[in-house]
Chains A and B, each alone.
Chain A
Amino acid sequence: MSLAGFLAQLLNGVQYGLLLFLIASGLTLIFGVMGIINLAHGSLFMVGAYVAFLVTRSVGSVWLALPVALLAGAAFGALLERGLFRHFYKRDHLDQVLLTFALILLFEEARSIFVGNDFYSVPVPTAFDFSVPITAGFSYSAYRFAVIGVCLALAVALFLWIERTRMGAIIRAAAEKPEMVDVIGIDARRVHMTVFAVGTALALTAGVLAAPLYSVYPGMGDGFLIISFVVVVIGGLGSISGAFWSALLIGLVDTLGKAYVPAVAGLAIYVLMAAVLLWRPTGLFGQRG
């Protein structure tokens, strides 16, 4: 295999990994702070992809879908938290699993009612519909570069928000010792709502970015959900930086595996996860079990 081909696969892996990070960061935040295992997170990703499809169909540009997804996602996440999840923090994890599974079914049905069951492709925005020449004889899709850029920007924003702001500090504290946050008089409800809103907005954004790359189809959230859980677990539950590095790792392993050893590519990430967990039972960056 040529060097140029390898470089292209490497970039694909990074792009896929960063997309996974957008989904996984929301999952890991929601788990870390509220202890909720949100199976419906993949469906939120799917909703994002369909938002991209609908916005593109009616307005003609996928870029407009980005702010729509961010805002609508945040509002929707806050609404879900207020209406449903809030009542489940004290319940057993398995009840939460049942609740979020029901949500998957409802999201799929809503998708089927409002958009239908067909596959749709979403055109790459015209401004990015070209290839960037890198060396002689090798060029790379500008849209994929744009996706890498947007994901990195969002990742940096998320890091700064978590590490440098007051709300971020509260979130880190709540992930570590939720009772303590209550005791010192912080309104935990507002924290929970914010975390849910941010997580949902990130998942929808990932869906928007993914739509031109993977097209949109029923059940598209499923595969991404499972892989995102793998990312979250390898990184360590609740750890944002863990999710970042393990998302890149999984993105690269999966993409390079599919390109060079397709026979075992499906297995690769699961073998990786099992190996990591048997070696470090709480993930690479995890603290607690």
Chain B
Amino acid sequence: MLPTPKGAFALAAGTAMLAMLPFMAQPYYVELATTALVAAMLALSLQLLVGCTGLVSLGHGAFYGLAAYTVYLVTPEDAGLSIMITLPLAVLTAGGAALLVGALSLRTRGFFFLMVTLAFGQMIFFIFHDTKLGGGTDGAYLARPALSFLGLELTYTRRQRPVYLYYVALVQLVAMYLFLAFLLRSLFGRVLEGIRVNEHRMRALGYDTYRYKLAAFVIAGALAGAAGHMWAMHRAFVNPEIVGWHRSAEALLMILLGGLQSLHGPILGALAFTGLGELPQLVGDAKPLARFFATIGLDDFGVRVQALAERKLLLEGLVILAVVLALPRGLASLRLPRFIRPAYGEPPARDEQVRP
């Protein structure tokens, strides 16, 4: 799951590139990038369950949404609370809910586990959908949590806001990655990997696998809570859609798209998935491309590409199809053409990935 030294270097370079993005992009794209980073946080938290422990949950979005609603419920009407209050509260609520849901659903396995987590997720969804607790089906606006730490407050103007929130999201994503990397290196992480590969063997070795799985479920739920908190902060709006199973399914797709075998896979998947929907817009807006096509006599290039945005699902569907057919191990298995990639030899099976 963890990067090689070379991979770590590439990751650091990627992070640096992400950190420079606000200096190069329009506010609209900075906000889009923040959306992608929040998605990456959610996908990364789910990877602890799916990729590491082998538990495929379809209720993960519920903890994310629950956390966003927690921010809404504790925030007074007119002014946002400090992030030092809202973030721990959101994380604790999500973690607490995950403890409850996990304790029950981990009694089932495989496809049944997937469906039980879906059921619990939908229950949480209907709490917000069918009651007036959080503005009902229409959703509700909230005051953003303030960036204040121990009495120091970081203020920003409306124009600066996208950039500030972008960095808040980026810092949290990096922190989450490092935390998970640290966790996976520990004995706890090794046990989780062991459970994914062969749970019976782990039990025979004397590990109480139920407790390990429950701990992973709670940690993942709490981290999803951090992502949900960031979503509330980013959008200043909550509605039942963020709790529903679509969000969980999207997070799962991002992981699958990015690859199950690495921690950075979900991040790649989330960036790709979010970017995919905006791709025609991005390409159509790109000035250098438009200039290039104007010189070769295709003046309406941008317009034509943007017309493709109407057919967003087609593009998404085809890309996902291409990935699943051509890259069974996800986007994370893409490599720069190393002049000639070794074309022979099967990639190692998932089971052999675990280090002793």
Contacts and interface: CB of A to CB of B under 8 A. Distances in A.
B116 A274 contact: yes
Interface size, A (range): 35 or more
A233 B108 CA distance: 12
Interface in B289-331: 311, 313-314, 316-318, 320-321, 323-325, 328
18 contacts: A93-B111, A98-B320, A98-B323, A101-B253, A104-B317, A109-B317, A112-B311, A113-B311, A229-B118, A233-B115, A264-B126, A267-B122, A267-B123, A270-B122, A271-B123, A274-B105, A277-B112, A281-B107
B313 A270 contact: no
Contacts of B249: 101
A105 interface: yes
Nearest to B108: A281
Contacts of A273: 115-116, 119
A274 B119 CA distance: 6
Contacts, number: 110
B279 interface: no
Contacts of A94: 50, 56, 252, 256, 260
Contacts of A103: 317, 321
B138 interface: no
Interface string B111-129: 1100110111011001101
B109 interface: yes
Given A270-B126, A273-B115, A277-B112, A91 B314 contact: no
B105 to A, nearest CB: 8
Interface in A259-282: 263-264, 266-267, 270-271, 273-274, 277-278, 281-282
Contacts of B116: 273-274, 277-278
Q: 8 tightest A-B contacts by CB?
A: A105-B317, A102-B320, A106-B317, A266-B126, A270-B119, A109-B314, A109-B313, A102-B321
Interface of A: 37, 87, 91, 93-95, 97-99, 101-106, 108-109, 112-113, 226, 229-230, 233, 237, 263-264, 266-267, 270-271, 273-274, 277-278, 281-283, 289
Given A99-B321, A273-B119, 20 more contacts: A94-B256, A94-B260, A95-B328, A99-B324, A105-B316, A106-B318, A233-B111, A233-B115, A267-B126, A267-B127, A270-B118, A270-B119, A270-B126, A271-B123, A274-B105, A277-B108, A277-B115, A282-B112, A283-B112, A289-B109
B343 to A, nearest CB: 20
A98 B253 contact: yes
B107 A278 contact: yes
